Amino acid sequence: MSKKVVIIGGGIIGLNSAYYLLKEGHEVSVIDQFDITSGASFVNAGYISPSHVTPLAAPGMVASGIKMMFNQASPFYLKPRFDLDLFRWAWNFNKFATAKHVKSSAPVIKDFTILSRDLFQEIKDSGIFDFQFERKGLLMSYQTSKFEDKEARLADLAKKQGLDVKHISKRELKEMEPEMKAEGAFYYLDDAHTTPDDFMKKMHYYLKSKGVRFYLNEKVIDFEINSQKITHLITDKQQLDFDELVVASGSWSSIVAKKLGVKLLVQAGKGYRINLYRKTGINYPAILSELNTAVSPMDGFTRFGGTMEIAGINTKINKIRVEQIAKNATVFYPNIKISEEEIKDADYGFRPVSPDGLPFIGKVKSLKNVNFATGHAMMGWSQGQATGKLISEIISDKKTSLNLEPFSLERFN
């Protein structure tokens, strides 16, 4: 049965939800407080990464985070502030930063991300629009024995999940990536990458052409609730009614949740990117292990990105962090010098981070027609297709492609 569905949020999760709901024959509208031209869905590394089977909440992260939180140039920065939601989030993060949690989460993350990668491939093969989708894998590159050991442990975990991982010697790496200065790498062959900016623009255009309504630069103000159902929502411009609501508003999802009386532990994790619109000689996506910096050869440019800055939702660009990404690039690629102009052109996005590194996907128990799809942290691009598919299955009353229990909205209550 066709339903009228409203999605709050026009990022990768929102657009993919619209795509799969449309395929199921539903009438879809998307509301976004911005114009769908910027944000985390446009500035990420473009990875579809089954390799990332370790959740953010892992052993050692709390101790590392405490050390790094006083250094604004560090890969992970948590700005100290008095905020009860942040305290609750941090307490749960600490609770889940265990080996037991990593072991139970790894197969969930792997299956989720592989499904998403395969769905990306389906869209590519369908020919509805053309976009970069390359199965070139991902290099986890290192310069020191300490990080070789660390990456070897992570590679073993990935292999236990059935992923194809090879160790690449310094000589072999030089042949693959002549511009890179590293002692070796672990090569994850199951990974793929895309150009996010291009995919987002083309998916947005495609959905519009197929009848999806977009209400942009429009902010959700309030909701009308009747008999455990949301009957309609009120924006700063209009009132909309619907059968089902999907909240996919990224780092703003917890704000929407509060309006609905739903507890949702999500913190905004700001990440930055620098684009180089010139030849760099870089052939493969890579993560520079010691520096937690991502590198992506995209369609027409090379992107360097990274950092996780948990400092609330603010529009300030922390130049210290951007400059650190530029410095990190030169450490592994000595021939690349990022200019001041390229640094000034840096952009950022907010990634919605849950305490345990898994997203929130599913219906709200207290509200019969409200669904959430958020909290993916750095994995939103990697898991966006599968999330959209799951949301469409939930709303269409179909058996879901994956078990939704690990993504329960109530798991921290």
CATH code for the domain of 319: 3.50.50.60
| Per-residue confidence (pLDDT) for residue 61, from 0 to 100 | 60
| Per-residue confidence (pLDDT) for residue 301, from 0 to 100 | 98
279 in a domain, yes or no? yes
How far is Cα 31 from Cα 29, in angstroms, rounded to an integer?
A: 7
Question: By mean pLDDT, which of 75-79, 99-103, 137-141, 326-330 is the weakest?
Answer: 75-79
User: What is the mean pLDDT of the segment spanning 143-155?
Assistant: 96
| Per-residue confidence (pLDDT) for residue 227, from 0 to 100 | 86
> pLDDT by residue (tens digit) across 334-373?
999 999 999 999 999 999 999 999 999 999 999 999 999 9
Mean pLDDT taken over the chain: 93
**For residues 168 and 184, is the Cβ–Cβ distance under 8 A?**
yes
Q: Which domain holds residue 135?
A: 4-407
**For residues 113 and 384, is the Cβ–Cβ distance under 8 A?**
no
> pLDDT by residue (tens digit) across 65-90?
555 555 666 667 777 777 888 889 98
User: What is the mean pLDDT of the segment spanning 296-302?
Assistant: 97
pTM of the predicted structure, to 2 decimals? 0.95
> pLDDT by residue (tens digit) across 12-43?
999 999 999 999 999 999 999 999 999 999 99
> pLDDT by residue (tens digit) across 266-283?
999 999 999 999 999 999
CA within 13 Å, CB half, 86: 12
**For residues 329 and 293, is the Cβ–Cβ distance under 8 A?**
yes
Q: Is 160 helix (H, G, I), strand (E, B) or coil?
A: helix
Kind of pairing between the strands at 4-8 and 244-247: parallel
The tokens describing 213, both together, are 């309504």
413 in a domain, yes or no? no
Question: By mean pLDDT, which of 118-127, 135-144, 209-218, 317-326 is the weakest?
Answer: 317-326
| Per-residue confidence (pLDDT) for residue 84, from 0 to 100 | 87
Q: Is 350 helix (H, G, I), strand (E, B) or coil?
A: strand
Question: By mean pLDDT, which of 91-100, 133-142, 201-210, 217-226 is the weakest?
Answer: 91-100
| Per-residue confidence (pLDDT) for residue 230, from 0 to 100 | 94
Q: Give percent of the chain with pLDDT exceeding 90.
A: 83
| Per-residue confidence (pLDDT) for residue 60, from 0 to 100 | 66
> pLDDT by residue (tens digit) across 369-385?
999 999 999 999 999 99
Distances 285 to 135, 271, 294, 362 between C-alpha atoms, Å? 10, 18, 8, 32
Q: Which residue has the higher pLDDT, 76 or 3?
A: 3
412 in a domain, yes or no? no
94 in a domain, yes or no? yes
How far is Cα 246 from Cα 173, in angstroms, rounded to an integer?
A: 45
CB atoms within 10 A of CB 108: 17
Q: Is 30 helix (H, G, I), strand (E, B) or coil?
A: strand
CA within 13 Å, CB half, 93: 25
Residues comprising the chain, all counted: 413
Residues 6+ apart with CB under 8 A from 19: 123, 203, 206, 207, 388
> pLDDT by residue (tens digit) across 204-220?
999 999 999 999 999 99
Q: Which of 364, 376, 369 is nearest to 408 (CA)?
A: 364
Instruction: Give the chain's domain count.
Output: 1
The tokens describing 76, both together, are 């992970």
How far is Cα 120 from Cα 49, in angstroms, rounded to an integer?
A: 12
244 in a domain, yes or no? yes
Q: Is 62 helix (H, G, I), strand (E, B) or coil?
A: helix
